[in-house]
Structure 1
Amino acid sequence: MASSSEWTQNDTDQAKEAREKFGIWPLDEYNVKLLNEVHPRDYVSKKEPFSEYDLIAIGSGAGGLVSSKQSARRGAKSAMISEALAGGDCLNVGCVPSKALIRSARAVSQVRKAGEFGIVVKGEIVVDFPKVMERLRQKRATIAPADGHPGTESAGTHVYQGRGRLTGPNTIEVNGKELKFKYCILATGGRPQIPDGIPGLKEAPYTTNEELFNLEVLPPRMVILGAGVIALEMAQAFSLLGSKVTVINRSSRLFESKLGDPEAAAIIQTELEKDGVTFLSEAKVKNVETLVEADKNQIALPLMKVTVADQKIECECLLIATGRKANVENCGLEAGGVEFEVGRGVIVDDYARSVSNPSVYAVGDCCAGVPRLTHMSGEMAKLVVQNSLADDEWKLSSLVVPAVAYTEPELATVGFSSEDQAQKEGIECEVYKTGLEHNDRAIIEHSNVGFCKIIVKKGTDEIIGATIVAERAGEMINEVTLAMKNNLGLHAIGRNIHSYPTTGEAVMGCGIQYINKNLPRFD
C-alpha cells in the first residue's frame, strides 16, 4: 500500500490536487514519478533541525538546489525550503519539457526534409500529439531525481516543504517553525508577465509556459503574444507539429536586446516562416474575446478571438510569452530588511548580496538586473556560497554568460551580441564574421544557413561578444565563452586546431580572419 506521502495513479482527489495546486496533469505514471521526487505529499524531513543554520535557501529551483547542496557538501549546516515543485521552472515548465517538445518537432522537420538526403518517405506524416506529450513527461520524470528531495537530503541538506518567509534579519518561518540562519539565499524565481491594458485578456483562458506542457490535444490554431526566446521556440515547434501559428510582435524585429543582432533575427524569422509560422510585426492587440471556455477537466480546448488592427484571429491556444517578473511578494522581505522592486526583484550588489541586509543574498530570476537563465541561477548560487561561507569576493560582473534560443537553426550569443550594442556603450570595435555557406560540415548536413560573428575591441584581439546562428550554435558558443572568461584573444581561437569537418570551424574562421589581417607584410 502506498504511504500517505506518495502520489498514486487513478486517484481522482490526487489528480485534482496536482492540477489545482501545482498545475500538473494528467496524473499518469510519469507525473506520479515526477511529483514523488519534487513534491512528495505530506513530506517531512527525517533529519533533526539545527538550532541555527549556516545557510538557508528559500526556493528549490536551480539557485536553491545548487546553493543548499554545495554548502552541505562543504560541511555547512544547510537547509532548503521548497514550496512549489523542486527543480523550479527549468525542470517542470521550462528548459526540460520545452526541449523535449522541440526534439519531437525536429523529428517532423527531419522527416519532411528526408528527400534532400535521398530518402523517400511515402504517405502522410502523422503526428501523434498525445504520444509526443507522453514522451515529454517521461523524459522529465527521468531527469527529476537530480532535483528531487531524496537526492537533496542525501547531499546533507535539510529539506522543508512549505512556504518560507523572513520574519527578521536572521530568521525565517516555515510551517509554523522559526529557523535561524547566518546567511539566507533568496531563490524564489519568477513567473510570466501578463500584459496590462488589453481588454478581455485577463478574463480569457490564455496559456503560459506554466500550463503549456500539460496539453493533451494539439491546438489547431495558436496565437503567441511576444517574440522572445520562449515565443519563437514554441512557435516553430507547434507549427511543425501541426498547429497554425501566428506570432504577434509589438516590435519590428525579433528578440530582446541580449539576442539583438538584426541579421540573426532576420534569419530566424525567415526559417520559422518556412516552417509555417506567420508573423504580425509592429502589431498591437486591441482585445481578446472568449468564445468558448475550456472544459472543467481541461482536456477540450477553448476558443478565443484576438483582434489586431482590422484582423480578427481565432485560436484554441493563446500563449502569453511577453517576459517575466520576479517572485518577491509574500516572502517577508520587508520584515527581513531586504530592499526590492516589485516586478524587477531583489536589489543586490556585485557580490549578489542584498544592499540592505548583508546576511541575505539573492540568485536567479528573483534578482533585479541579471539574465533570467537557469545556468545564471546555478552560477550565482556557486558565487554566493563562496562569498558567504568562505568570505570571498566573487563578483557578478566577472561572469560571462551565454544565452541560446533553441530554434532551428539555433541562435547563441555571449557578451555584446552586435556591434551596435558595443558602440552604444562607447566601445569602438571590430567584427570578424564567417558564414556557413562554405562550411563543409554545414553543407553536408544541409544546414548551411547562418554565420559566426565575433566582436573585438578595436585594435586588439580582446573578445567582447559573439553571435552564432547555426544548427548547434548552443554548443559552439561555449568555446567563445571560455575564451572571454579566461582572457584568450581571438588570435588564440584562430590558432586552436578544430576537428574537420565540424560546424565549429566557423568559430576558428573568425580567428583566422583576425590573424590574416594582422600578419606581418613583406614588401
Structure 2
Amino acid sequence: MKSSSSLSSTWDPKSESHIQDAKQRLHIWPLDEANTSLLNQVHPKEWSHTSDDTIYDLISIGAGAGGLVSSRQTARRGGKSCMISASLAGGDCLNVGCVPSKALIKSAKLIRQVQKAHSNEFGVTVENVQIDFDRIMQRMRELRAEIAPIDGHERGEEIGTTVYQGFGSFVNENTVQVTSPTGEIIQLKFKKAAICTGGRATIPPNIQGLNDAPYVTNETLFNLQTLPKHMVILGSGVVALEMAQCFSTFGSKVTILVRSNTLFPNSDAEAGPELERILTKNNENIEFLKQTTLTSVETLSNPTDVAELPLMKLNIDVDGTTTVIDDCDCLLIAAGRTANVEKLNLEAANVQYDVHKGVIVDDYARSVSNPNVYSVGDCTADVPRLTHMSGEMAKVVVNNALFEHDWKLSSLVVPSCMYTEPEFGTVGNVLGGDDVDVYKTSLEHNDRAILDSDREGYVKIFCKKGTGEIIGGSIIASRAGEIINEVSLAMKYGISLEEVGRNIHCYPTTGEAVMGCGLQLINSKWKRLD
C-alpha cells in the first residue's frame, strides 16, 4: 500500500497558537513573512502520512545534510526511501548554522569595509554610516527562506523520498516508529537504516544558575531582535569566534571566555595567537579572557517580551582570580557539541553508542553492533562535525548499504574553515613535530594581498619529513576556505608539494601562496652552476 501525504494548512503569522508553537517547540521567531515561508517548506504546519506496508531499502532518521543526502540519493538510484524529520528539515546548517551565520558574516564584512573606506585609504570617503541591526537580521531570515525549498518536504517527495514528520525511534532491529507532533504513532520496516539526528550545543554542567538562566545557543541566537550591549561567549571555537567578530562589528561589546591559554590549542600552534592578534587589532569591542571557568550565573532580569534582552551577572574564575561581569545581556553557549542519540531507543536496535560522542561505527559508517544500521554526521562518534562531512558520509552509507561497496571513512580528506575575517582553513595533520617538514608563505609579500590591503595571515603546508608528501595545511587568509580545497585535492590524490609548486596559478591571487610553499621545496633541491 502506497503512503499518502497531505499538506492541509500553512503557518499563520497572525495565529497566536501558531506563534507559540513556532517559538516554543521549533525555536523560530519572529513569525514574520520570511520565517513563515521557511516553516512552510521545512516543517509544514500539518503534514501527515498514513501507515503502509512498505519495507524501505533505507530509512533516514533525521533531516539535516545526512538525512537529506542519504534519503534522496537512495530514491534517485531506484531505492524505496523515507526520511523522518523531527524538527526543521535542513538541520542546523540551513536553520541555525551555516546559512544564517554566513548571512550575518557578510553584513559584518561590509560594515568593516565601509569603516575602512571611511579612512580614505582607498580614495573613497563614506559619511554617516548607519548600522541597522533589524535589517541585518531580516535579510538573514529572507535569504534563509529563499534557500529553504531545496531542503523542503515537497522537494523530497518530488525526488521520490517519503517524508514523515515526527520523532523517529527504534522499536527493534528492523523497525522504526514515528511519533507525530500531535502524538500519532506509525511503524515502519527497513532493510537498512541511517541515523542522521545531528547534535546540539553542549551545556556545561556544574555552573551554578546556568540551567535557569536565559542563555542562547546557536539554536536561538539567530532569533535576536535587539542588538546586545554586552555579549559574553562561553567557548572559543568556530561558532564563538565567527559570532564574536560579527556582533562586535555590529556594535556589541564581546567578551570571549577561553578555557585554555590559547585559541585552537589542538591545531597549528601559530594559528591561535595569530588569530587573536588579528581579531583584536583595531577592534576595541572584543576582549579575550583566557584560562577561565564560568562558575555561576545570576539572572537579574528576564523579560517575557522576546524583543527585550535579559540581564545577567556572571562570576568567572580567570586563572585563579574572580572576575565579575554584571551587565551581560546575551550569554552565548558555544562550548562544544553533544550527539542527539539518547532518545532514539538504540538499545532496542542493538546499536552501541556513547551518550556524548554518538553512535559507534566501523570504517564503513556501519554500527559496530548492528550491520543493518549506519550513522551519518554529527550523531556519529569520532568524526568531524561539519556539514560537508555529513553529506559525504551519506554517500558512503548509500554505496555501502545498498550497493555493497566498501567506501571507507578513513579514505576521506576533510577540510574545515572558520569564516572570520581573515578565514582560517585547515586540513589533515597540522601539529608539526620532528617527523614533519613545514613550508610557510606569508601574505605580506603576496601581490593580491597587498593590492587588497589584506596582508594578514599565511599559508603553511605540512609534509612528511624529507619528502614532498603533503599531510596537512593551515591557512589564515581572506580566502582560506577556497584556497584549502587545493591542498585537500593534493592530499587525496597523492599530488606532491613539488607538483603543486609547478602548477600554474592565476596572477595575482592569494592562492599563489600555496604555490609559494611548493617553490620553497623545489628551490631547496635546485642544481646550481659551480
TM-score after normalising by structure 1: 0.96
Deviations 1:54-106 (A, max 9, x none): 00000000000000000100000011000110000000000000110111111
Report the equivalent of 1:39.
43
- Asked whether 1:334 is paired with 2:338, we answer no
Give 1:256 deviation, angstroms.
5.3
After superposing the two structures, state which structure 1 stretch, 308-317 or 181-190, moved more: 308-317
Report the equivalent of 2:329.
316
Report the equivalent of 1:474.
481
Give 1:201 deviation, angstroms.
1.3
Report the equivalent of 1:403.
416
- Asked whether 1:368 is paired with 2:368, we answer no
- Asked whether 1:6 is paired with 2:10, we answer yes
Report the equivalent of 1:269.
276
Provide the rounded CA distance (Å) in 2 between the counterparts of 1:437 and 1:89. 37
- Partner AA of 1:27 in structure 2: L
Q: Tell me the secondary structure at the aligned position of residue 202 of structure 1.
A: coil
Q: Tell me the secondary structure at the aligned position of residue 262 of structure 1.
A: coil
Give 1:50 deviation, angstroms.
5.0
For 1:370-385, list aligned pairs within 5 A.
370-385=383-398
Provide the rounded CA distance (Å) in 2 between the counterparts of 1:446 and 1:264. 20
* Unpaired segments ≥5 residues, structure 2: 1-5, 180-184
Provide the rounded CA distance (Å) in 2 between the counterparts of 1:188 and 1:297. 32
Report the equivalent of 2:176.
172
Provide the rounded CA distance (Å) in 2 between the counterparts of 1:121 and 1:521. 54
Provide the rounded CA distance (Å) in 2 between the counterparts of 1:111 and 1:291. 37
Q: Tell me the secondary structure at the aligned position of residue 191 of structure 1.
A: strand
For 1:57-136, list aligned pairs within 5 A.
57-114=60-117, 115-123=120-128, 125-136=129-140
Provide the rounded CA distance (Å) in 2 between the counterparts of 1:198 and 1:41. 37
2:221 to 197, 208, 212: 212
Provide the rounded CA distance (Å) in 2 between the counterparts of 1:310 and 1:62. 42
- Verify the 8 A CA contact 2:7 2:48 in the aligned structure 1: no
Provide the rounded CA distance (Å) in 2 between the counterparts of 1:479 and 1:52. 43
- Verify the 8 A CA contact 1:229 1:255 in the aligned structure 2: no
Report the equivalent of 2:250.
241
- Partner AA of 1:311 in structure 2: T
Q: Tell me the secondary structure at the aligned position of residue 346 of structure 2.
A: coil
Provide the rounded CA distance (Å) in 2 between the counterparts of 1:142 and 1:417. 38
- Partner AA of 1:134 in structure 2: Q
Provide the rounded CA distance (Å) in 2 between the counterparts of 1:122 and 1:26. 32
- Verify the 8 A CA contact 2:7 2:47 in the aligned structure 1: no
Give 1:329 deviation, angstroms.
1.3
Provide the rounded CA distance (Å) in 2 between the counterparts of 1:267 and 1:144. 36
Deviations 1:316-372 (A, max 9, x none): 000011000000111120100000011110000000000000000001000000011
- Verify the 8 A CA contact 1:249 1:281 in the aligned structure 2: yes
Deviations 1:269-318 (A, max 9, x none): 1122122310101122221111111x223111000011223321121000
Provide the rounded CA distance (Å) in 1 between the counterparts of 2:499 and 2:464. 15
Deviations 1:3-32 (A, max 9, x none): 743112222221111001100000011001
Give 1:198 deviation, angstroms.
1.4
Q: Tell me the secondary structure at the aligned position of residue 347 of structure 2.
A: coil
Give 1:417 deviation, angstroms.
2.2
After superposing the two structures, state which structure 1 stretch, 315-324 or 261-270, moved more: 261-270
Report the equivalent of 1:140.
144
Provide the rounded CA distance (Å) in 1 between the counterparts of 2:89 and 2:527. 57
For 1:269-288, list aligned pairs within 5 A.
269-274=276-281, 275=283, 276-288=285-297
Give 1:255 deviation, angstroms.
2.3
Q: Tell me the secondary structure at the aligned position of residue 310 of structure 1.
A: strand
Provide the rounded CA distance (Å) in 2 between the counterparts of 1:287 and 1:364. 33
- Verify the 8 A CA contact 1:417 1:465 in the aligned structure 2: yes
* Unpaired segments ≥5 residues, structure 1: none
- Residues 225 and 30 (structure 1), Cα distance of their counterparts in 2 relative to 1, 3 Å cut: same
- Verify the 8 A CA contact 2:256 2:289 in the aligned structure 1: yes
- Partner AA of 1:84 in structure 2: S
- Verify the 8 A CA contact 2:298 2:314 in the aligned structure 1: yes
Give 1:164 deviation, angstroms.
0.9
- Partner AA of 1:118 in structure 2: G
Give 1:473 deviation, angstroms.
0.3
- Verify the 8 A CA contact 1:228 1:256 in the aligned structure 2: no
Give 1:250 deviation, angstroms.
1.1
After superposing the two structures, state which structure 1 stretch, 511-520 or 400-409, moved more: 511-520
1:291 to 295, 300, 303: 300
Q: Tell me the secondary structure at the aligned position of residue 278 of structure 2.
A: helix
Q: Tell me the secondary structure at the aligned position of residue 44 of structure 1.
A: strand
- Asked whether 1:305 is paired with 2:313, we answer yes
Percent identical across equivalent pairs?
Answer: 57
- Verify the 8 A CA contact 2:360 2:367 in the aligned structure 1: yes
Size of the aligned set, in residue pairs, is 511
- Partner AA of 2:336 in structure 1: G
- Verify the 8 A CA contact 2:257 2:289 in the aligned structure 1: yes
Provide the rounded CA distance (Å) in 1 between the counterparts of 2:398 and 2:160. 15
- Verify the 8 A CA contact 2:240 2:334 in the aligned structure 1: yes
